[in-house]
Amino acid sequence: TNPIPQRIVHGTTIEIIRTIFPSIIPMFIAIPSFALLYSMDEVVVDPAITIKAIGHQWYR
């Protein structure tokens, strides 16, 4: 028997990878999404086409 317990148990590296890697994946999704979101916010001065949509709601 070991009177002094170990503080670090085997498998620490895999535990760190299992924690860090899943948190990196959403960043790869979020960064391009924000870039696209803000680029779509830009106002076009002279649009090539203008669409007018009229909606009607009918009640029964």
- What per-residue confidence (pLDDT) applies to 60? 61
24 token code pair = 């990196």
Does 31 reside within a domain? yes
Cα 31-32-38 angle, rounded to 5 deg? 95
Give just the sign of the alpha carbon dihedral 11, 13, 15, 17.
Answer: negative
Q: Is 18 within a domain?
A: yes
Within a domain: 52: no
Residuewise pLDDT in 10s, the chain (60 residues): 667 766 666 788 888 899 999 999 999 999 999 989 888 877 778 888 889 999 888 866
Q: Which domain holds residue 34?
A: 9-43
| Calpha distance 23→13 (Å, rounded) | 16
- Whether 2 maps to a domain, the answer reads no
CA distance 31 to 33: 5
Dihedral pair phi/psi, residue 54, rounded to 5°: -120, 130
Is 29 part of a structural domain of the chain? yes
Q: Give the chain's domain count.
A: 1
